[in-house]
Amino acid sequence: MKKSVEIFRSQILKSFSLSLLAVLISFSIQAQSLSDIQSVKVDNLSDAQIENLIKRAESNGLTTNQLVALARERGMPASEAAKLQQRIQQLQNQAQSPNSGNLTSGREMGFQQVDVFDSLRRSDPYYDLTPKQKKIFGFKLFHNRNLDFSPSLNLPTPQSYVVGSGDQLLIDVYGASQQSFDVQVTPEGRVFLPNVGPVQVGGATIEAATVRIKTALSRIYSGLQGANPNTFLQIRLGNIRSIKVSMVGELTKPGTYTLPSFATVFNALYAAGGPNENGAFRKIQVYRGSKLISQVDIYEFLSKGDQSANINLQDNDVIIVPAVEGRAEVLGPVNREGLFEVKSGESLKDLFLYTGGFSSLAYRDRVTIRRIEDNQRKIIDVPSSDFGSFYPQVGDEVLIGEALDRYSNRVQVSGSVMRPGEFSLEEGLTIKGLIEKAEGLRPEAFTNRVTLYRTSEDLTLAAITIELSEILEGRAEDIPLKNEDLLFIPSRYEIQEEYYVKISGEVSFPGTYPFANSMTVGDLILRAGGLLESASNSSIEVARRVRDASSRQIAEISTLS
């Protein structure tokens, strides 16, 4: 029996290991066979793919630790296995957050199977993207589930719209004569007008088609022509036709798409899932009749809102997304880190436009470039004066430093002042002036001895003892302050020992109470809630500590009546 159970368990592990390999390999771009699990890169897996692995493991009765161990056993490098363990832990931590509910596997819930990652998918519109895809500037534009690029059909008829086969034209004649025509463009590009005949409108804009139809109808409506016409004509689009657009190249979902005739290049790109990880965002080509009619740069739209190249498409247009020539990576305190496609002739200044500019923490005087040149790495320092003339290359890493965590004009005061904190160091500011900025001393301030902490040039800290009372009364010279000085003024309560008295016996609330000057036995009894009925007031014993060090007595006891 035991042997059969082991055989059954080994069969489960074997079947799951094969499915694990298949899943991992299907997620790896470079993998070609089952032996290619060594080439699987965890960084190229999206959160959704990691979630799929976890679910497969749970359905086969394995924990996440066993999943990682099995991946290592089947040939996954230790470094990639560690990354897989880390990604799984991150997903589980997110699922355990207060906004996501508790992470509970299907086995722990019994028949109540709960999708623990559902809230993560709802909260992150880019849940299906890999970490690298999230870093590519522009990639999220076509993968945000909260965006909709469908063309609006509730628009006034654009005069530049090109009429084609299948369009419905609504022709209104009004004025001295009134008539309405509802005609449809034939496959030959014509509309048939009663009592007039066919009129060729296919391939013409609405504006040109209006002129042609107006000329044809003027045969029966003479008021349409002349210097002072009394009859007028208007053309509107009814049901618009559909067009077919071919999407080829480095796209997420290449193919032929049926779109409304109002569709633009962006509408078609969104339908095809946008450029993939290897696709160019800055050289998207639109061909019509084997001629290049437009080249779209998505960066111009994202950074400047320029849609001049986002033209309306026509039937049988072809959109080609070529492979990206290369990207540069920007790291550091900018508003938008990531991978940016670089074009020849663009400078660092142009690149920073796509990053949204420097953040408030950025060191702006110089940036560092890491570049691979002549099969080796090199470092290039670029001062801010050369940002407009330095041209980044493919594969460059642009490193932006942070401003130093130091102040050039700060002094501080703490302790017994009305407003402790940081203050600006102005020329000629002294200790007395700093106290005035802090709105004076507190009543409990101990001014006989305060400490001024001063930072030297080599960043070592020195403590200077000052008799503040002498300075405030004018009997001692005031001290000018330097950058990063800190003045500490202690409180009398902080340096003074607190005294207590203790009462026990037949009182309402025996215990320890703070001592006050001129406090009597009667005051202490009153503080303790008074004597109980069982108390004898004929004899009260008082024990007091002896402060004389030469005496061998620890305490002296006196009795009061």
Q: Which among 210, 237, 264 is the end of a domain? A: 237
Is 443 domain-assigned? yes
Q: Do 443 and 425 share a structural domain? A: yes
Q: Do 444 and 387 share a structural domain? A: no
Whether residue 74 contacts residue 16, with contact meaning beta carbons closer than 8 Å, is answered with no
Q: Do 211 and 187 share a structural domain? A: yes
**CATH value at residue 389:** 3.10.560.10
pLDDT of residue 451: 94
Measuring CA to CA, which residue among 297, 391, 284 is closest to residue 345?
391
Please tell me the distance from the alpha carbon of residue 339 to that of residue 320, in angstroms, as a whole number.
Answer: 22
pLDDT of residue 389: 92
The predicted-structure confidence for 214-246, as pLDDT tens digits, reads as follows 989 988 888 888 888 888 999 988 888 889 999
Q: Do 120 and 16 share a structural domain? A: yes
Q: Do 416 and 302 share a structural domain? A: no
Mean pLDDT on 338-348:
92
Q: What is the DSSP string of 73-91?
A: HTT--HHHHHHHHHHHHHH
Q: Using 50, 70 and 90 to split pLDDT, how confident is the model at 152?
A: low
pLDDT of residue 512: 92
Residue 541 has pLDDT above 80, yes or no: yes
Q: Using 50, 70 and 90 to split pLDDT, how confident is the model at 111?
A: very low
pLDDT of residue 100: 46
The predicted-structure confidence for 53-66, as pLDDT tens digits, reads as follows 777 777 777 777 77
The whole domain housing 194 covers 168-237
Q: Using 50, 70 and 90 to split pLDDT, how confident is the model at 109?
A: very low
Q: Do 253 and 222 share a structural domain? A: no
Mean pLDDT on 527-541:
84
Is 135 domain-assigned? no
Residue 13 has pLDDT above 50, yes or no: no
pLDDT of residue 103: 42
Q: Which among 185, 211, 237 is the end of a domain? A: 237
Q: Using 50, 70 and 90 to split pLDDT, how confident is the model at 36?
A: low
3-state DSSP call for residue 303? helix
User: Residue 238 to residues 42, 228, 408: CA-CA distances in angstroms?
Assistant: 52, 30, 70
Q: Do 385 and 301 share a structural domain? A: no
The predicted-structure confidence for 460-486, as pLDDT tens digits, reads as follows 889 999 999 999 988 999 999 999 999
Percent of the chain with pLDDT over 70: 86
Is 100 domain-assigned? yes
Number of domains in the chain: 6
Chain-centroid distance of CA 105 in Å reads 29
pLDDT of residue 365: 92
**CATH value at residue 185:** 3.30.1950.10
The predicted-structure confidence for 359-379, as pLDDT tens digits, reads as follows 999 999 999 999 998 889 999
Measuring CA to CA, which residue among 362, 371, 375 is closest to residue 390?
371
Q: Do 124 and 6 share a structural domain? A: yes
Mean pLDDT on 513-522:
88
Q: Do 380 and 447 share a structural domain? A: no
Query: When comparing pLDDT for 119 and 491, which is higher?
Result: 491
Mean pLDDT on 37-43:
72
Q: Which among 277, 306, 321 is the end of a domain? A: 321
Is 222 domain-assigned? yes
Q: What is the DSSP string of 275-301?
A: B-TTB-SS-EEEEETTEEEEEE-HHHH
Is 50 domain-assigned? yes
Residue 40 has pLDDT above 80, yes or no: no
Q: Do 124 and 86 share a structural domain? A: yes
User: Residue 464 to residues 74, 358, 428, 461, 487: CA-CA distances in angstroms?
Assistant: 67, 41, 19, 10, 9
Mean pLDDT on 393-417:
91
Range of lowest pLDDT (79-93, 155-169, 239-253, 368-382) = 79-93
Mean pLDDT on 379-399:
93
